[in-house]
Amino acid sequence: MAVYINARFLSQPVTGVPRHAENITRQLFAIRDAIRLLAPPGPLRVLDGIDIQQIGTSRGHVWEQVENDPLASDWN
């Protein structure tokens, strides 16, 4: 069973919370294989060696609340 992570933090400036989310994500990838990062469309920071799936058409809170959840449940 895959774990899906909301990777919207990769579209934000690197400050405290996005930096912490990035560090946690790297550690999770180090201990588990079945992890999928889902992010909104647009420019993202790259995490070396980690695949990021951009889904949906909107960005920001609309993407999180309207597009992310339904798409994540159908994405394989």
- Nearest alpha carbon to residue 43 among 13, 1, 2: 13
- Nearest alpha carbon to residue 39 among 52, 48, 49, 29: 52
In whole angstroms, what is the distance from residue 61 CA to residue 36 CA? 20
Question: What is the block-wise mean pLDDT of the chain (76 residues), using blocks of 10 residues?
Answer: 88 91 93 90 90 88 77 54
pLDDT (0 to 100) of residue 66: 79
pLDDT (0 to 100) of residue 44: 92
pLDDT (0 to 100) of residue 67: 77
Q: Strand, coil or helix: what is 5?
A: strand
Domain locations along the chain: 3-74
pLDDT (0 to 100) of residue 70: 57
Taking the model in full, what pTM does it have?
0.80
DSSP state of 3: E
Cα 29 off chain centre by:
12
